[in-house]
Amino acid sequence: MVVGSLNLTISLLEQTCVYLVIAHLLSRTRLFIPVMHVTIRLPHKVACYLIFSIFCIMGTYFGLKLDDSIANTRAIGAVLGGLLGGPSVGFAVGLTGGLHRYSLGGSTDLACAISTVTEGLIGGFVHRYLIKRGKIDLLFQPVRVAMVTFVAEVVQMAIILLVAKPFAVALHVVESVAIPMWIANTVGAGLFMRILLDRRVMVEKQSSVFSAKALKIAARAEGVLRSGFNEENSTRVARIIYEETGVGAVAITDRDKLLAFIGIGDDHHLIGTPITSELTQQAIANNQVMYADGNEVAYHCSISPQCRLGASLVIPLQGEGQQVIGTVKLYEPRTKLFSTINRTLGEGIARLLSTQILAGRYEQQMHRYEEQRQLLAQSEIKLLQAQVNPHFLFNALNTLSSVIRTEPELARQLVLNLSTFFRKNLKRPSDEACLADEIEHVNAYLQIELTRFTGRLSVDINVPEALGQVRLPTFSLQPIVENAIKHGTSRMIGDGRVTISSWCDQGDLLLSVEDNAGLYDSRPAGDGLGMNLVDRRIKNRYGRRYGLDVACGPNRFTRVTLRVPLEGRAA
């Protein structure tokens, strides 16, 4: 009896092993994904039911026939179905397995059918109990699963004793199969859960490896393509992808040609050559990820028949408005399979690169815009330069017309001043001039104004000769001096005075223009365009700490101070 029992136990365990091997193999397929987590979604429940029903029936088939009963491992399917799917799934699995068993006949057919349903329900109620307590994790403990199965098997034996007739036969059956079935089912259910757990850990590990790789690539490739989508930057990015993914080769193309190639086959995949691969051309034309795995979809290198690459993944890079601007290509040699991770990763990388290229283009546009703005400031100054205040011009001519008659010598001076003023205004070869030049320009202007406002205006220029060679942007002084007269002294009824001074301060040249009108604060809004331009241009050129500074004491003075570095261009 004991020996028989032991033999039966070992045989049943052997059957269980086969059963578990099948479980293990199936666990590697997508079929098992729904049963790896507790789920409440109907499709998952259905999947759960189907899988465990199969195992339930399989348990019957893998059983050992003893007289007219079967020592089996059916309980594993029923209990696990209940545990993972809940009472409804447990009941359904038990019913399916039970009906199947019933159909096979024998003295314990009905008892086995009833007990299988009961086992499914036991699993289901344990499920419900643990879920309600929020102890989902306990469901996945192999030891706990084994214990539940053991209890279920004990109940099964009791049911057989109660239901199967005659009782003597039932007792005989139970005596011979109870211990082997308890052991086999308990161990089997525990191991089954262990397999599920291992599989789950593996999936999680894979996804964490995936995330880690993706993050690493993102971090290393950050900003590389921003400075331009060209061969040099593409090669750097391709190398990063190649090193991090471990694929056979990585290529990056624009719409027409190869920009980068790293890895197997770089002897004939030459940078700069036009795209010949049909796969790539299709990817570009259709804005579509193209994949040739080398088995179902044939892959042949379009350049060399000797190429060792056997599979290729082509992912389009998208620019503004989803337009394709190039591709990223991952290759594997014929000897290696394309891992799913790398395929998914490839698409992620392409998105990352697309974003970078876009950001880069945007930045370049900003840069160009900035340059254009500077050019504009430059041309605005030119315009301002050429645009002599017509008031000044016609009043000057009127003054000239007057003095020609009375003071021919003064008239001659005036003509000379006018020509100096216009010459400086019209012809400035470079956009930098020395202070002496600027003073000459301003002086010509002031001499004309002095003649116009005879007796009402005085001018004082204090610029040390030593500073004459300091360079500053052309036409920086003139607008300030013109303002001092136009918006200053010419609006006074009393005598106006303009003072220009220059000195050094901590490596900077300071130039101040002061008038005694003090009307800066009350000038109409929008005036002083020229001064704004001068300020902007100096700040653009030398930095924010340079430029113009205005101080105004109402009705007493307005003082504009210009600051530029003494040593030409600052960093």
Smaller CB separation from other proteins, 241 or 414: 414
Per the CB < 8 A criterion, the answer to whether 437 and 407 are in contact is no
Find the shortest distance in angstroms from Cβ 234 to other proteins.
Answer: 59
Q: Does 321 bind other proteins (CB under 8 A)?
A: no
Smaller CB separation from other proteins, 101 or 487: 487
Residue from 264, 400, 448, 472 that binds other proteins (CB under 8 A)?
Answer: 400
Residue 102 burial by Cβ neighbours in a 10 Å radius (0-12, 13-18, 19+): middle
DSSP secondary structure of 152-212: HHHHHHHHHHHHSSSHHHHHHHHHHHHHHHHHHHHHHHHHHHHHHHHHHHHHHHHHHHHHH
Q: Does 397 bind other proteins (CB under 8 A)?
A: yes
d(CA 515, CA 269): 73
Q: Which range of residues in 40-48, 459-467, 486-494, 508-516 is near other proteins by CB under 8 A?
A: 486-494
Find the shortest distance in angstroms from Cβ 456 to other proteins.
Answer: 8
Q: Which range of residues in 101-109, 187-195, 196-204, 403-411 is near other proteins by CB under 8 A?
A: 403-411
Q: Does 281 bind other proteins (CB under 8 A)?
A: no
**What tokens were used for 447?**
């001499």
Q: Does 487 bind other proteins (CB under 8 A)?
A: no
Find the shortest distance in angstroms from Cβ 516 to other proteins.
Answer: 13
**What tokens were used for 490?**
């010419």
Residue 338 burial by Cβ neighbours in a 10 Å radius (0-12, 13-18, 19+): buried
Q: Which range of residues in 230-238, 400-408, 438-446, 470-478 is near other proteins by CB under 8 A?
A: 400-408
Residue from 233, 447, 490, 516 that binds other proteins (CB under 8 A)?
Answer: 490
Find the shortest distance in angstroms from Cβ 459 to other proteins.
Answer: 16
Find the shortest distance in angstroms from Cβ 406 to other proteins.
Answer: 7
Smaller CB separation from other proteins, 335 or 406: 406
Find the shortest distance in angstroms from Cβ 512 to other proteins.
Answer: 24
User: Which of 491, 482, 484, 421 minimizes the C-alpha distance to 456?
Assistant: 491
d(CA 338, CA 294): 10
Find the shortest distance in angstroms from Cβ 554 to other proteins.
Answer: 13
> Residues 430-459: x/- map of binding to other proteins (CB under 8 A)?
---------------------xxxxxx---
The H-assigned helical ranges of 275-407 are: 278-286, 340-386, 390-406
User: Which of 549, 546, 545 minimizes the C-alpha distance to 561?
Assistant: 549
Q: Which range of residues in 270-278, 349-357, 385-393, 503-511 is near other proteins by CB under 8 A?
A: 385-393
Residue from 43, 390, 507, 524 that binds other proteins (CB under 8 A)?
Answer: 390
Find the shortest distance in angstroms from Cβ 405 to other proteins.
Answer: 6
Q: Does 491 bind other proteins (CB under 8 A)?
A: yes
In a 3-state reduction of DSSP, which class is residue 416? helix
Q: Does 369 bind other proteins (CB under 8 A)?
A: no
Q: Which range of residues in 26-34, 127-135, 255-263, 388-396 is near other proteins by CB under 8 A?
A: 388-396
Find the shortest distance in angstroms from Cβ 522 to other proteins.
Answer: 11
Angle at 424 between CA 421 and CA 425, to 5 degrees: 85
Q: Are strands 309-318 and 324-333 parallel, antiparallel or unpaired?
A: antiparallel
Number of residues that bind other proteins (CB under 8 A): 25
Tokens 């590697």, located at residue: 28
Q: Does 507 bind other proteins (CB under 8 A)?
A: no
Smaller CB separation from other proteins, 138 or 393: 393
> Residues 228-247: x/- map of binding to other proteins (CB under 8 A)?
--------------------
Secondary structure element (H or E) that encloses residue 77, with its range? helix 74-85
Find the shortest distance in angstroms from Cβ 388 to other proteins.
Answer: 11
Residue from 328, 384, 403, 562 that binds other proteins (CB under 8 A)?
Answer: 403
User: Which of 472, 425, 421 minimizes the C-alpha distance to 450?
Assistant: 421
Smaller CB separation from other proteins, 132 or 405: 405
461 vs 410, 420, 455, CA distance in Å?
21, 18, 18
Q: What is the 3-state secondary structure (H, E, C) of 185-197?
A: HHHHHHHHHHHHH
d(CA 377, CA 382): 9
Per the CB < 8 A criterion, the answer to whether 75 and 152 are in contact is yes
Strand partners, 509: 504, 564
Find the shortest distance in angstroms from Cβ 422 to other proteins.
Answer: 17
d(CA 99, CA 112): 9
DSSP letter for 31, please: G
Residue from 227, 286, 372, 401 that binds other proteins (CB under 8 A)?
Answer: 401
Residue from 156, 185, 234, 399 that binds other proteins (CB under 8 A)?
Answer: 399
Residue from 306, 335, 406, 430 that binds other proteins (CB under 8 A)?
Answer: 406
Give residues with Cβ within 8 angstroms of 174, minimum separation 6.
157, 160, 161
Find the shortest distance in angstroms from Cβ 523 to other proteins.
Answer: 13
Smaller CB separation from other proteins, 274 or 390: 390
Find the shortest distance in angstroms from Cβ 401 to other proteins.
Answer: 4
Smaller CB separation from other proteins, 69 or 451: 451
Q: Does 402 bind other proteins (CB under 8 A)?
A: yes
Smaller CB separation from other proteins, 11 or 402: 402
DSSP secondary structure of 232-265: HHHHHHHHHHHHHH--SEEEEEESSBEEEEEETT
Residue 353 burial by Cβ neighbours in a 10 Å radius (0-12, 13-18, 19+): buried
Residue from 40, 42, 168, 493 that binds other proteins (CB under 8 A)?
Answer: 493
Binding site for other proteins (CB under 8 A): 390-391, 393-395, 397-403, 405-406, 451-456, 490-494
